[in-house]
Amino acid sequence: MSDARAIISKLSKRQTPARDELNWFARGLGDGTVTDAQAGAFAMAVCLSGMGDVGRVALTMAMRDSGSVLTWDLPGPVLDKHSTGGVGDCVSLVLAPALAACGAYVPMISGQGLGHTGGTLDKLHAIPGLSTHLSPERLTDVVQRAGCAIVSASADIAPADKRLYAVRDVTATVDSLDLITASILSKKLAAGLDGLVLDVKVGSGAFMKDVEAARGLADALVKTANAAGCKTTALITDMNQPLAPSLGNALEINEVMRVLTGQVKKGALIEVCASLGGVLLTNAGLATDVQAGADAIIQALADGRAAERFGAMIAAMGGPVQFVESWWRFLPEATVIREIPALQSGYITAIDGEALGFTVVNLGGGRRVETDKLNLAVGLSDVARLGTKVQRGQPLAVVHAARAVDADRAETALRAAITITDKAAPKSDLILDRVG
């Protein structure tokens, strides 16, 4: 019989608890046997002492096994992608149906917005009638029919993580490489994946601002996932500006549909999707190499097969049957729509992505507290890109707001977030590194 006090004591002495001890502790987190005080002490001990590679893997698998682990019987590999968070990041909504069109099956468990970053589930909720809360049976049905489903985690998926995350949030123990890794991967591995690709973002719009810190997280995630039996690779990608030119729930769905229906044929969003998809398809044996995999993703977008899969997923999850054909009819629109002109001529040399993310939050498009009700129509669109030469009076972006006073505040914040200088800055790469 394991004991929470003994496990915490081991950690505080920089000793790694045995696998069966961590399994017991994770089950106790899920069923309430472990108290909040013990959970907080455990998190603090991990935060201060670390667990090492072996302990990190054991904790991740224990948290995975604290609830249900999905199993699949499908004629193709089960794949997924996870992003560490950014602004204008609607990759999941483009990549999942593109992967499905290339022969993969994608049961993507996603989340709500966190801090200044938008959440994939919040974006999907801008589509009327659609539900992301599916029973395991219905999830299986949607994945079989559409090839992909983007859903919220059910209560029995990694319950230890849900409990421990809530405790970490109020005990200043969020910033731990071991706990971050176990939290991310326990949910993903519980989906029964054959392969995973990680989009670790770094820059002004990401949680991580430093490339070396991002590389450290990517390395921990890849090593842990592979040790747990899931073929995993990470790409470190630039987030010094919004990935798509729109931020906000309905506005990002609109951008996704423009990509899926061929109205947008190139750009950062498509490049990141192709790069991530190329890695996944290659690792899963669906492409001969990364370039062939990336080309397959782009072809699936160009010929409409990805849009067809997306439409099938939306309909199967309760959304409009004809959404792909006329999506603009279904998406909510803001009351106040205002272009924000540049006050000077020059080159856009810096964009504070985090500030833009919080601008959307303050418009009502994100949560300050968990119980906030979102305005799914508000946000920013047509955000100018880094390196763009603008003339005085040329639009920097368009604000979508519920009230004029909200648009006024957003305009002030937007101007402060965009730097215009006389000389252009050198262009940076979008894909910065690969791990695994």
Quick check: is 5 catalytic?
no
Residue 382 falls in the annotated catalytic set: no
Q: Of these residues, 188, 215, 231, 309, which one is catalytic?
A: 188
Of the listed 27, 64, 82, 123, which one is catalytic? Answer: 82
Instruction: Locate all alpha helices (DSSP H) within 195-333, ordered by sequence.
Output: 211-227, 249-260, 268-283, 290-302, 305-316
- Residue 362 tokens read as 């303050």
Asked if 138 is an active-site residue, the reply is: no
Per the DSSP assignment, residues forming a β-bridge with 108 are 150
- Active-site residue, from 27, 56, 64, 81: 81
**Active-site residue, selected from the candidate residues 56, 64, 162, 187:** 187
* Catalytic option among 92, 154, 183, 232: 183
82 part of the active site: yes
Of the candidates 242, 234, 233, 236, the residue with the CA atom closest to the CA atom of residue 211 = 236
Identify which of 237, 223, 234, 238 has the alpha carbon closest to the alpha carbon of residue 198. 234
Of 329, 327, 400, 395, the C-alpha closest to 363 is 400
Is 188 one of the catalytic residues? yes
Report the largest interatomic distance among the alpha carbons of the chain, rounded to a whole angstrom. Answer: 72
Strand duo 431-435 + 395-401: pairing: unpaired
Task: Indicate which residue of 16, 66, 83, 84 is catalytic.
Answer: 83
Among residues 56, 66, 80, 233, the one annotated as catalytic is: 80
Active site annotation includes 2? no
Q: Is 403 a catalytic residue?
A: no
Q: What are the two backbone dihedrals, phi and then psi, of residue 199, each rounded to the nearest 5 degrees?
A: -105, 95
Which of 120, 232, 275, 359 is catalytic? The answer is 120
CA distance to 86, 238, 363, 394, 411, per residue, from 383 (Å): 15, 17, 16, 12, 12
Among candidate residues 56, 168, 231, 309, the one labeled active-site is 168
* CA separation, residue 189 to residues 46, 75, 183 (Å): 21, 20, 10
The answer to whether 83 is a known catalytic residue is yes
Q: Taking a C-beta distance cutoff of 8 angstroms, is the pair 152, 26 a contact? A: no
> What single letter denotes the amino acid at residue 185?
L
Is 120 marked active-site? yes
**Active site positions, annotated:** 80-83, 120, 168, 183, 187-188
